[in-house]
Amino acid sequence: MVNARQLLTSAIILLMIGATALGCLTPVDERLNEGDVTLDTESRQTADELIGDACQGLTFEDMFEYSYALFTVDINQDYASAQVGAVAYINNSLSDQVRFDLDDLIGTVGAPGGSNGYLSNQEENMILEVTDDCIVETNPRFGFRTGEPHRGGEGVDWKNASWINDESNPLQLEYWNLFPPHHPDNRSCPPQSRLSATGECYEVPVAPSDAATTRNCDTTDVTSPDECQIIVWLNGTMTWAADLANADSFTIAMNTTNMTNAELIMNFPEKNSDDGDPLRVSLFEECDGRVVQHEVHQGSTPPVGGCTGDGTITEVVTENADGSLTVEVLTDFDKTEWPVGQDMFADFTNQPPPPNDPPQWTAAAPADGDMIPVPPSMTVDFLSIVNQGLWLTDEAGFSAIDLSCTRYSGDWTIAEATDGAWQVTTNEQQASSVECTPSDIDDNGTARAGDTRMFHLFTPFTMSFNTDIQASHVFTIDPADNAPNMDVTVTLFQDAGVASSTETVTGGLISINLDTSSLSPGEVQLRVHATGTGMSDYHYTYDTILTKESQPPSITISSAEFDGSMWQVTGVFSDPDGEAVTFTIEIDGAAGGEISTSGNTWSSQQINFDIFSEGEHTVTITACDESNVCSTITETVDNSFLFGSNNIIEPPLISTDPVEDSGSLPAPGIGFLVVAVIGALMYAGRRD
C-alpha cells in the first residue's frame, strides 16, 4: 500500500516539472528510476489526486508538532457549518524539526538542494503549493451526532466533519518565519541547490550549527534573526451531515490524541427549545483508552457517564447573556501513550434537566426475578460496566450511580471487581440468587437508593463435543433443570469462515449438527448464544480451541496419450476443504516439467519421450493443498514402440517394367507420390 510520504513525493515531482502525469518525467536523480516513489502505479494520477490520497485523514498534529495551539470554532446561525480558526506556535527545536522534515521531503524526490541541511525559498514555494491542496483533505477531528448521547462504538460515525473549500469559503493556511528573513546564515543558493536556474533563490540552515550558543529567540525585535519560532494560521469552514438545527439534543465528539498544550473555544449561537429553554451542556467527559491505531480492535465502548480519564482535559462552560453558549477546553496528551488515545464528548440539549431522582432501571434491564445466565466453573461478570450503562440511568450521569449486589441464596461467591463490575464465581451447583440496588447522592449530600431487583444466576446448559472437527460436527446440549425453553445457537468461526446452527431446547439432551464445509483447515473457535423467556441473552466464547484437519485433494486422470513422440496427461481435481491446489510431476523420480490448471482440470506439458531410454517409465503426479496435505497418482508410460524394428518402414519395390515412349517426360502419377510419401515417413522413423 502506498504511504502518504510516497504519494506526496510523487506529487512534488509533478509540481517540479509542471507535468500532469508522472509518465512525462525526466528523472533528476537515480532514485526516480527506482520504485521508491511508485511512479508506475501512480502514473495516471494528477498531482492533485496524489496529494488528496496522501493527506486523506491526516490531522493538524500529523503535519507538525507545536508548542501551543489555539482553536476557535464559531458555529454558524444555521447550525450546519462553523468557522474554524487555528494558530499554532512552533518553538525552539520543534521549529528545527519542521524545517528538517520539509528539506528531507524535498530530498526524497532527488531534487537539487534536498536533504542538504538548508531550506530555500524555491523549496518553500513548492511546499506551499502542496500544502494548499493537502489541508482540505485533512481530518478536522470533530464528529456531530443528533439524538441520545453516545460514546462512540460500532456503527457510530462520530468523526464525520469535513472542510469546505470553494470561492465563497476558501481554506487558508499561512505561516510566519518558516524562512527567517534576518537569519544570520542566510545565503544565496549555490547552483546545485536551485530548483530553477532562473529567479531569486536564497536558503537558510534547517537548524543552528550550535543551538546552545547561536540560537536566537528574540521575538520582541522584528529585525532580529529569530529562527526559533514559527507561527502557523489556519482559517476555514467546517461542515457536517447531522441536522443540528432541528435537534433538541446532540453530541459533539473530538479525538484529542496528540493534542498537547492546546486550547479549544467553541461558540454556539442561541438555540432555545419551543418552550424557551436555552442550550446547555448536560454532560462533558474525557474518555481515555481507545486504541486509535488503524485497523486495531477498539475494545468495549464505555456507557454515557462511565468514561475514565486522567484529567488532562478540562472544560469551562459559560452561558452568555445573549443566549449563546461558550465552551472552553484545555487539552494535553502524553505522546508516549500512543496508540492508546484520548477523546472528549460533550452532550448538548435545550431540554430542561430531568428531576433529581434516584437511579432508575431502564427498559433494557432484566425484570425483577429474571434469570441471568453465566458459564460454568469460572469467575465471570454478571453485571459488567457496559451492561450497567445499558440497564441503569441517572440524570447526573452514570458515574453518579453506585450499584451494590449481595447474595440472596446459593453458595456461589459474589464480589465487585476493581472496574465496578459485579462478578460471580460458579461451581458445580447450578444456581445462586442476588439482590442488586443502585444508589446515588442527592442535592443535600444524602445517599438514596433506587429499586432493588433480584436476579437468579444460573448455568443454562452444559455442552459436550469433540475437538477434532468432522464434516458434520455434533454438539450435545444438556440443559439445566431450571432452564426455560431456549433457542441455542452454536457457532464455529475463524478468519476464513463461519459455521452456525440453531435448535430449540425444551428439556433433555439435544444434538446440534454443524456443516463444517465452509471452514478451512486449522484452528477454530467456538461460541454459543442462547435466548429464552425470562432470561437475559447468554453469550459465551469457549477457551477450548477446536481443530479441523485438512483432507487431501482428489485427483484423477482423464487421458494419457501420445502424439508422435510427444506424450501428455490430463485430469480433473477437487479439494474438499476448498483450498487452492498446486501440482508437481515427476518421471522416474526426477522433475518432469510443469502442470497447468484451469477450473477443476489439470494438464501436463507435452513431454518428448523420444529423449528417454526405451522401456517403461513411471510418471507421478502430486497435488498438494494449502495445508500441504497431498495426494499422488501414477501412470506407467511405455515408449518401446518408439525404438522397435517395426518403427523402421521399408520402402516398397518399384516396378521395372518398361514404359512406352510417348515422346515426352512421363507424368509422376499417384504411384510416384505414394512412394515419395512412404520414403519421407521411412526417413523420419529411422533411429541412429
| Cα–Cα distance measured from residue 652 to residue 675, given in angstroms and rounded to the nearest whole number | 7
Mean pLDDT for the stretch of residues 360-382: 95
Question: pLDDT grade, residue 109 (50/70/90)?
Answer: low
DSSP 8-70: HHHHHHHHHHT-SSGGG---SSGGGGSSTT-TTTTTT--HHHHHHHHHTT--HHHH---SEEE
Confidence grade of residue 62 (pLDDT, cut at 50, 70, 90) = confident
Lowest mean pLDDT among 321-335, 510-524, 645-659: 645-659
Grid cell locating 100: 528538517
For strand 497-505 and strand 510-515, is the pairing parallel, antiparallel, or unpaired? unpaired
Please determine, looking at this structure, whether the domain spanning 360-454 carries the CATH number 2.60.40: yes
Range in 40-54, 185-199, 542-556 with the lowest mean pLDDT: 40-54
Indicate the burial class of 456 (C-beta count within 10 angstroms; 0-12, 13-18, 19 or more).
buried
Do 308 and 289 meet the contact criterion of CB atoms below 8 Å apart? Answer: yes
**Residues contacting 451, CB < 8 A, separation 6+:** 360, 361, 368, 437, 438
| Nearest by Cα to 220 from 210, 207, 229, 209 | 229
Top pLDDT among 102 and 463 is at 463
Q: How many residues does the chain have?
A: 688
Share of the chain above pLDDT 70, in %: 80
Query: Could you give the C-alpha distances from 59 to 63, 98, 289, in angstroms and in order?
Result: 7, 15, 19
CA 163 – CA 30 distance, rounded (Å): 38
Instruction: Please tell me whether residue 251 adopts helix, strand or coil conformation.
Output: strand
DSSP string, 627-650: T--EEEEEEEEE-GGGTSGGGSPP
| CA pair distance 289, 337, nearest whole angstrom | 9
pLDDT reported for residue 355: 79
Question: Residue 273 and residue 280: Cα distance in Å, rounded?
Answer: 11
Residue 340 pLDDT level (bands cut at 50, 70, 90): confident
Distances (CA, A) of 70 to 67, 208, 265, 401: 11, 28, 8, 36
Pick the CATH number of 554-642 from 2.60.40.10, 3.50.50.60, 3.30.420.40, 3.40.50.300: 2.60.40.10
Mean pLDDT confidence for 385-401: 87
* CA 258, 263, 268, 273 torsion-angle sign: positive
Fold of 461-542: Immunoglobulin-like (2.60.40)
| CA–CA dist 271, 407 (Å, integer) | 49
Alpha carbons within 13 A on the beta-carbon side of 469: 28
Q: Which residue has the higher pLDDT, 215 or 138?
A: 138
- pTM value surpassing 0.75: no
Q: Which among 171, 144, 4 is positioned nearest to 86, based on CA atoms?
A: 171
Q: What is the pLDDT of residues 171-194, one digit of tens each?
A: 888 888 888 877 778 888 888 878
In degrees, rounded to 5, the angle at the alpha carbon of residue 394 between the alpha carbons of residues 392 and 400 is 100
Beta carbons of 414 and 423 less than 8 angstroms apart: yes
What are the distances in angstroms from CA 56 to CA 51, 133, 463, 601? Answer: 8, 11, 49, 45
Please count the helices (runs of H) and the strands (runs of E) in the chain. 8, 42
Q: What is the pLDDT of residues 594-611, one digit of tens each?
A: 999 999 999 999 999 999
